[in-house]
Structure 1
Amino acid sequence: MSAPTAQTPTTFRLERPREGVVLLTLDRPEKYNAMTATMFAELETAARELDREEGLRVVIVTGAGKAFCAGYDLADAEKLAGLGALGMLDLQESAARALTGIRSLRVPVIAAVNGAAAGGGLALALAADIRLASPRAKFNAAFVKIGLSAGDLGTSWLLPRLVGPAAAAEFAYTAGMWDAARAEETGLVNRVVPEDELLPAALAMAEQICANSPGGVQLSKRALHANMEVTSYAAALELENRGQALLTRTSDMSEALEAFRAGRAPSFRGN
């Protein structure tokens, strides 16, 4: 069933395969789901609307057809030279807002990488909290081959935190292609699963997440994201302490304790 939005997007589909789970499928298969200015605007809007949606628990991002996302559409790229410096900055900031919107969703985001994830497509996969990949998945940061920098849409910040500085440097400077096995070995993806099991595996993980308290999951995500950006153990503890104190005031915490004492599964309501 399609998700209700203010305006139906043209570059991706929104579906609800399970209660509380949204599947966002990039839907330009003839272009390997390449990004355009329209896609950036639609992703930013969708992220804003989803983040306000009651009952949302997990978002899964994948691509239609053979690719996850091939990066910026080269047909659109021909127009870039005519934009001027400020016009190019507007486009870059629009792209950054789109990916920031996905990364900043209050609920976990799972990337189901079904094929090539290159350039901006790599950045989109990195923006997810968890990455599952099919054996056909390929990852590429070929920015330096076209005169650009791997400092694009958060790649230079997220990549070293996932694979380590040395592997990130090799990947960025050589513009090499990593297959699914190499991505799993370095920690770029959490797990490689058979192609026909990719979406079922993402949905199974989403259901595992949905079985836990919504507040606990959301504040866990907030703590993990925030503490990637602080350099102080004391600051990390301060944020964690506030989150735990808030969660002990929720009805879900009381329900979890009652369910434990009764030997049954808890029924969380998200408050």
Structure 2
Amino acid sequence: MAEFVLVDTPRPHVALVTLNRPERMNSMAFDVMVPLKAVLEELTHDNDVRAVVLTGAGRGFSSGADHKSAGSVPHVGGLTRPSFGLRSMELLDDVILGMRKLHQPVIAAVNGAAIGGGLCLALAADIRVASTEAYFRAAGINNGLTASELGLSYLLPRAIGSSRAFEIMLTGRDVSADEAERIGLVSRQVAPQDLLETCFDLAERIAGFSRPGTELTKRTLWSGLDAGSLEAHMQAEGLGQLYIRLLTGNFEEAVAARKENRAAVFTDDK
């Protein structure tokens, strides 16, 4: 199954993860999701990797559930159908949560269709950049199911607001790259031939900053979406800022670099 998820290093400290089942538009068959879960677990502990770009091979980012060839779920021998379903969903949940918990920021390079679970994968990334050929669909409602899956009803309203999220999820309509950019579902749209290089540029810029700085920024951004109160979130932000300020020399390096009109060189300790 490893051939269905490819890992490359296009630039120093940047990992490119490619879903590689283009004949099925990189659908979320377990033959793809099992190795993706393993890759995420490896990358989070790869201290040479400072940012991750996720994309799909061919003309699709990910078309969601594979209704023709779902693939094999590990460790389900002897389970009844309800238990099999629970284990299957747990595995997919782990992929979404794994992206969110990854130490490194994740940039989704959405090259084509992001449908159903594929939309969830994109939303689990920290930054989304779309090709002008990309489109998005919350497909569950079109299949006679709920459109809520893999955190979609949690993540989408936080990305674009509740009214737009309700409309998109309840109608099952397509969202073009142009609309996605306008409503904030993606940071920007670019020409297909520029997509990966744009994402590599973003990843390289992020990789140049303090490792604990970027990790804690990602952590506090996500916790802010979960925060019960502004006060509690501000305390978490303050502790993170204090941690970086006291335990690294990066603030002093940034100040010195500006004075000397040069690029800052950040390290993880004083």
TM-score by length of 1: 0.92
SS at match of 2:3: coil
- Report matched runs for 1:25-64 at 5 Å: 25-64=18-57
> Per the alignment, do residues 22 and 79 of structure 1 end up closer, same or farther by CA in structure 2, a change over 3 Å counting?
closer
- In structure 2, C-alpha distance between the alignment counterparts of 1:179 and 1:27, rounded to whole Å: 23
- In structure 2, C-alpha distance between the alignment counterparts of 1:41 and 1:77, rounded to whole Å: 12
Question: Which of 45-54 and 259-268 deviates more?
Answer: 259-268
- Report matched runs for 1:112-131 at 5 Å: 112-131=109-128
Tell me which of 172, 175, 192 is aligned to 2:172. 175
- In structure 1, C-alpha distance between the alignment counterparts of 2:140 and 2:52, rounded to whole Å: 28
- 1:75 maps to 2:73: no
**Aligned AA for 2:141?**
V
Aligned to 2:243: 246
Question: Once the 2 structures are TM-superposed, how far is the Cα of residue 237 of structure 1 from its aligned partner?
Answer: 1.3
Aligned to 1:165: 162
Aligned to 2:76: none
Task: Note the alpha carbon deviations across 1:185-207, whole angstroms, 9 max, x for none.
Answer: 11111101011111111111112
Tell me which of 136, 139, 144 is aligned to 2:136. 139
Task: Note the alpha carbon deviations across 1:41-72, whole angstroms, 9 max, x for none.
Answer: 21221111111111221100011001111111
% identical equivalent positions:
39
- In structure 2, C-alpha distance between the alignment counterparts of 1:214 and 1:143, rounded to whole Å: 38
Aligned to 1:209: 206
User: What CA RMSD, in Å, does the superposition of the two structures yield over aligned residues?
Assistant: 1.9
Question: Once the 2 structures are TM-superposed, how far is the Cα of residue 182 of structure 1 from its aligned partner?
Answer: 1.3
Aligned to 1:24: 17
Aligned to 1:4: none
Task: Note the alpha carbon deviations across 1:170-220, whole angstroms, 9 max, x for none.
Answer: 111111111111111111111010111111111111122123222211111
Tell me which of 185, 189, 198 is aligned to 2:182. 185
**Aligned AA for 1:215?**
P
Question: Once the 2 structures are TM-superposed, how far is the Cα of residue 78 of structure 1 from its aligned partner?
Answer: 10
Question: Once the 2 structures are TM-superposed, how far is the Cα of residue 37 of structure 1 from its aligned partner?
Answer: 1.5
Question: Once the 2 structures are TM-superposed, how far is the Cα of residue 83 of structure 1 from its aligned partner?
Answer: 6.3
- In structure 1, C-alpha distance between the alignment counterparts of 2:241 and 2:149, rounded to whole Å: 35
Question: Which of 168-177 and 261-270 deviates more?
Answer: 261-270
Task: Note the alpha carbon deviations across 1:113-133, whole angstroms, 9 max, x for none.
Answer: 110000111100011111111
Aligned to 1:5: none
- In structure 2, C-alpha distance between the alignment counterparts of 1:136 and 1:254, rounded to whole Å: 44
Aligned residues: 263
SS at match of 2:226: coil
- In structure 1, C-alpha distance between the alignment counterparts of 2:253 and 2:13, rounded to whole Å: 20
> Per the alignment, do residues 191 and 83 of structure 1 end up closer, same or farther by CA in structure 2, a change over 3 Å counting?
farther
Tell me which of 230, 233, 236 is aligned to 1:236. 233
SS at match of 1:160: helix
Q: Structure 2: 5+ residue runs without aligned partners?
A: 74-78
- In structure 1, C-alpha distance between the alignment counterparts of 2:266 and 2:165, rounded to whole Å: 40
- In structure 2, C-alpha distance between the alignment counterparts of 1:237 and 1:43, rounded to whole Å: 34
SS at match of 1:41: helix
**Aligned AA for 1:124?**
L
- 1:156 maps to 2:179: no
Question: Once the 2 structures are TM-superposed, how far is the Cα of residue 39 of structure 1 from its aligned partner?
Answer: 2.0
- In structure 1, C-alpha distance between the alignment counterparts of 2:212 and 2:63, rounded to whole Å: 35
Question: Once the 2 structures are TM-superposed, how far is the Cα of residue 260 of structure 1 from its aligned partner?
Answer: 3.2
Task: Note the alpha carbon deviations across 1:12-51, whole angstroms, 9 max, x for none.
Answer: 1100001110000110011111111132221221111111
TM-score by length of 2: 0.92
Question: Does the 8 A contact of 2:109 with 2:199 survive in 1?
Answer: yes
